[in-house]
Amino acid sequence: MENNTNRYKKDRVYIETYGCQMNFSDTEIVSSILINSGFSICDNPDDADAILLNTCSVRDNAERKIHERLIHLKRYKKQNKALVVGILGCMAERLRKNLIEEKQIVDLVVGPDEFRKVPQLIEDARTGTKGIAVKLSRVETYDDIEPKHTSGVFAWLSIMRGCDNFCSYCVVPYTRGRERSRGLESVVQEVTYLREKGFKEITLLGQNVNSYKDRQSGEDFADLLAACAKAAPGIRFRYMTSHPMDMSDKLIETMAEYDNICKYIHLPVQSGSNRILDLMLRGYTVEHYLGRINKIKELMPECSLSTDIIAGFPTETEDDHKATLRVIEEVGYDGAFMFKYSPREHTKAYAMEDDVPDKEKVRRLNEIIELQHKVSKNINEKEIGKSHTIVAESPSKKNPQEWMGRTDTNKVVVFPSLNGTKEGDLLNVKINGCTSATLFGEVF
């Protein structure tokens, strides 16, 4: 081990991350595995001995981005013949050896449950052996690995991996395998540790966090959330993503009970039509969904809500589309992630004809986006004059004199920075303006 550590000392790895928060959290785990084997992580591909792309397969355009990036990376390989290029994550799992066979430039391919092999595979690649590790596991949760946190204030904490829902359009159960939860005690221990290290905000992550279950004790996600909130009273807790089928009264009551659980829920509806929801195998009706929203609003009137929507699922009619628009208005989402349906190989929906023409998908998507912007703007205007406590996150990208942070309800607030504003400062801001996506405020 000692020898290995010395041998690798000079190898610098650059990791680029695509896709969802789970991937960003995984990159922190891979970074930690690499550092423990003697590698170092660098933040410029020009300095790297190995470049790894942690990839996403959820829609065709996510994969296309990676194919384009691989073309760019040829330039680096020309400059440095010894450079190792690797594909990690969901696309590695989906395309497997095809990536090595079809892409000369790719030296290693590692799926989300085999990250422990990354150091060895980089070493193999440096001696000319291309490597692949894509077995999915029923037990791997990496709970013994302390992620290399990119921030000292905000932490991602994966509490489960995989997904068993098999929504008919979705590739995730195929790329991430079966659902498995970490033990409750191990999560609470990590939370306590992060609190001692000075973290201010923790986001509990999983594809479907509210189906979390501690295998030994049977405790559920509401129990876990309550245990975290109690163990670290000074920390703000967020979580994502929730599934409408698992959004229990107990969970909503728990959120309402603890001040340090942020009042924000991402609850993807996908479609407002019961016929389409049925074809999507989502397992709920619009009525069930709206019932959950009403319960949330009843117990936490201040809670903000966001959603995911897919436009143009196979057989979707104009009436189905209009039903989706109605749900957007009825719920009044603070924000939404909106997508065009993209057929994914192996999924159940792949067998259906992708019969909504692209032009029509784009039209429906644009209508959804336009309505959502209007709804968000109306909601944000009601914030003007109100005060919020925010955690300062980073300087604003547009203006270095300004900073951004988030409210308890996950709204981005941009504000003129004070002398010495730094990441993690708890600040009171009064809102004085807004767009559909951003609030503007003044520290007081």
Q: Which of residues 81-140 bind ligand F3S (CB under 6 A)?
A: 89-90
**By rule CB under 6 A, what count of residues binds ligand F3S?**
13
**Is residue 172 close enough to count as binding ligand SF4 by CB under 6 A?**
yes
Cβ distance to ligand SAH smaller for residue 270 or 376 = 270
User: Applying CB under 6 A, does 100 fall inside the site for ligand SF4?
Assistant: no
Minimum CB distance to ligand F3S, residue 373 (Å) = 23
User: Looking at 170-178, 291-299, 310-318, 336-344, which segment touches ligand SF4 (CB under 6 A)?
Assistant: 170-178
- How many Å apart are CA 401 and CA 409, to the nearest integer? 24
Could you tell me which of 164, 177, 160, 255 has the C-alpha nearest to residue 214?
A: 160
Looking only at residues 2 through 61 of this chain, which bind ligand F3S when binding is defined by CB under 6 A? 19-20, 22-23, 56-58
Q: How far apart are the first and last CA of the chain?
A: 54
What residues between 212 and 231 interact with ligand F3S by CB under 6 A?
Answer: none
- Which of 306/380 has CB closer to ligand F3S? 306
Among 207, 254, 273, 417, binds ligand SF4 (CB under 6 A): 207
Closer of 50 and 62 to ligand SF4 (Cβ): 62
Question: What residues does 12 pair with on adjacent strands?
Answer: 40
Indicate the SS3 state at residue 50. Answer: strand
Q: Which residues of 257-275 are buried (b: 16+ CB within 10 A; e: fewer)?
A: eeebbbbbbbbbbbbbbbe
**Binding test (CB under 6 A) with ligand SF4, winner from 243, 263, 292, 388:** 243
Helix (H) or strand (E) holding 21: helix 21-36
Asked whether 92 and 127 are in contact (CB, 8 A), the reply is no
Pick the closer one to ligand SAH by CB: 259 or 355: 355
Q: What percent of the chain is helix, strand and coil (3-state, nearest 5)? A: 40, 20, 40
CA distance 262 to 279: 33
- Residue whose Cβ sits closest to ligand SAH: 308
Q: Are 77 and 83 in contact (CB under 8 A)?
A: yes
Residue 210 CB, nearest approach to ligand SF4 (Å): 11
Q: Which residues bind ligand F3S (CB under 6 A)?
A: 19-20, 22-23, 56-58, 89-90, 171-172, 175-176
